[in-house]
Amino acid sequence: MSGAGAAKTAEIAARVEAFVRDVVVPYEKDPRCGNHGPTDALVAELREKARAAGVLTPHILADGSHLTQRETATVLKASGLSPLGPVAVNTMAPDEGNMYLLGKVGSSEMKERFLKPMIEGRARSAFFMTEPAGEGGAGSDPSMMQTTAVQDGNHWVINGRKTFITGAKGAKVGIVMAKSTAGACMFVVDLPDPAIRIDRVIDTIDSSMPGGHSMVTIDNLRVPADQMLGENGGGFNYAQVRLSPARLSHCMRWFGATKRANEIATAYAVKRHAFGKPLIDHEGVGFMLADNLIDLKQAELMIDWCADVLDTGVLGTAESSMAKVAVSEALYRVADRCVQVMGGTGVSTDTIVEQVFREVRAFRIYDGPTEVHKWSLAKKIKRDAAKSAST
């Protein structure tokens, strides 16, 4: 996969930003935006407009090549300027990460059958990995996976329970993670399938992702052997191929959303007067907005640094963990200050600031809680220290 070049990337990002600000933002009050995300009808409407504007799936070029991670960062930050932006232009999780994984690992048949309609924005997808904590299943520790895959002739039979499966309701493509006798493995499946039952869509703090987050039972799902993604037992390795860029793309999109929240809070502080002067002239408010600029710039630099690391071809597991922690925590501080600056308006739905605050709060948990990433980094520090001591 080759890059598009700085000038071309800047032009793509500029068109995406203009589309999001001019076309997508007016949809933020659309009644089809519910607690479990925008409806599929709204998604289809927005994507038709993105297709007409030439900004649908902008991180994958017409020849099938993918922008570099650094170039993707430029484009996805622009797409995130509205919570609906990534949905509209098809850079939303989990589709963006699933497209990346299928592009890297999928067979030519898989790419034609599953990846192509996703790139075209005509199919949503879901990634079935997380399992119910109360049942001892895999969450931040994927080695606890209980979903099983048993070979039966030229098929695999999958059984298990999954939870917080983003976008499962309404998805047409699924990537299911299960364990065989050889270890973890992945399967690509058509959805819906009667063997994959959505027990309920969970009410969560966030509301930007189509289909919401589902609790799912997989009951004797039969999958043809040629729909195993990659090799039997290679599932954890493929998960790492997907997870490092996916963590970073979360940072990219939510950076855009938080940048917009700060724009709204800044405009409010400049116009709103209290105690004889604009809010921004009160040191307590002005300093919060100054801190926002600092946190946003540090987050941006962290994203770009990690993107550069991934573009060297390494997995970048530690680097993506550092970026995910630093960016999610910084963006949460920014969103929190925006709410505080705007007072009562900040906790209302009159602007998207309240939603961005909720979304970014969830981001501190999604794709690995801050504490799990720090624990992983601490283990690496210990390993590196042991290596240094032995040399």
158-183 pLDDT per residue, tens: 999 999 999 999 999 999 999 999 99
Q: Place 370 in a pLDDT band, splitting at 50, 70 and 90.
A: very high
Average pLDDT rounded to a whole number, residues 356-379:
95
Query: Which DSSP state fits 337?
Result: H
Q: Is pLDDT above 90 for 139?
A: no
State the pLDDT at residue 1: 44
From 118, 78, 66, select the one nearest 303 (Cα to Cα).
Answer: 78
One DSSP character per residue, 276-306 reads TEEGGGSHHHHHHHHHHHHHHHHHHHHHHHH
Q: Place 124 in a pLDDT band, splitting at 50, 70 and 90.
A: very high
Is residue 289 within 8 A of residue 321, CB to CB? The reply is no
- Tell me how crowded residue 374 is: count the other CB atoms within 10 A of its CB: 14
State the pLDDT at residue 2: 56
Reduce the DSSP state of residue 59 to 3 states and report it. Answer: coil
Question: Which domains does the chain show, CATH number per domain?
Answer: 6-92 (1.10.540.10), 125-231 (2.40.110.10), 236-390 (1.20.140.10)
Which residue type occupies 223?
V
Burial class (CB in 10 A: 0-12, 13-18, 19+), 282: middle
Which residue type occupies 186?
M
279-336 pLDDT per residue, tens: 999 999 999 999 999 999 999 999 999 999 999 999 999 999 999 999 999 999 999 9
Is residue 174 within 8 A of residue 189, CB to CB? The reply is yes
209-252 pLDDT per residue, tens: 999 999 999 999 999 999 999 999 999 888 888 888 999 999 99
